[in-house]
Amino acid sequence: MIKEMKNKMALAGLIFIVVILLFAVLAPVISPYDPASIDTKSVLSPPSKAHIFGTDTLGRDIFSRIVYGARISLSVGLIAVGIAVLVGVFFGSIAGYYGGKIDYVIMRFVDIMLCFPTLFLILAVIAILEPSIFNIMAVIGLTGWMGVARLIRAEVLTIKERDYVAASKVMGASDAWIILKHLIPNAIGPVMVSATLGVGGAILTESALSFLGIGVQPPTPSWGNILMDGKSTLGVAWWLTIYPGVFILLTVLSYNLLGEGLRDMLEPRIHN
């Protein structure tokens, strides 16, 4: 019963993610207005037939901004996690395969990186660099690879002792070939789960940075800076914070549910 419920919830998460991805891809078709179009006659209009999610302090349509904001928030989440996975897989596979001093140096560096509070590290780097979407993707990715490295290292330590790896060495295969052909493909399962869960975390981080005003800069819409715009009018325009907040909540929850479903599928022996 519990497993069936988890599968249904994971499927629901996947469906919602697909819907949001379609929103992002088809934004010019779905959006009824230009997200940057200012209409002084419709400032802080509540939800209506003309503006189903209402308008903001500049008269911009909130639904259009949320649809276009999905492009930014999802792009940041997916690309940042992609960077984290690439860096983590590289260092984790090298550490696990070679062991010894190389493993020691890499894992101590991982430990040092984990000692820094991630959000404060990101804030410090963003404060130095220009706050742009590309810098945000890179910074979130380059501060989130350590968990992936540990996962890959643990898997590689086990896989490298198997017979087919020893046979490849006897046949003269290079270390790079063994790592790319045998170790990484067989160790990637837990990383897929971690990456799926990480997308939700990256979206939350981007939203927090944009809410603080050092993330994606206006007039480019993201769910975080739409929330920031509604901060000063929360008492009179609830729709400015409720709608982007709900989309952030449901998207992050969907990725978490999908990640749990993948974990149960790839590692069926693990059950809570």
Paired tokens of 47: 């939800």
Domain limits, the chain:
2-31+62-266
Distances (CA, A) of 23 to 15, 29, 64, 68, 96: 12, 9, 10, 8, 41
Print pLDDT tens along the chain (272 aa).
556 666 788 888 899 999 999 999 999 999 889 888 888 888 888 898 888 999 988 889 999 999 999 998 899 889 999 999 999 999 999 999 998 899 999 999 999 888 877 777 777 777 787 777 888 888 889 888 999 999 999 999 988 888 888 888 888 888 888 888 888 888 888 888 889 989 988 888 888 888 877 777 778 888 888 888 888 787 788 888 899 999 999 999 999 999 888 887 776 544 44
Place of tokens 């949001």: 20
CATH number attached to the domain at 2-31+62-266:
1.10.3720.10
Residues in the chain: 272
Which residues touch 74 (CB under 8 Å, ≥6 apart)? 20, 21, 24, 203, 251
The H-assigned helical ranges of 51-181 are: 62-98, 100-115, 118-128, 133-142, 146-159, 163-170, 175-178
Instruction: Specify the pTM.
Output: 0.86
Distances (CA, A) of 59 to 51, 65, 133, 192: 10, 11, 25, 42
Paired tokens of 203: 């979206």
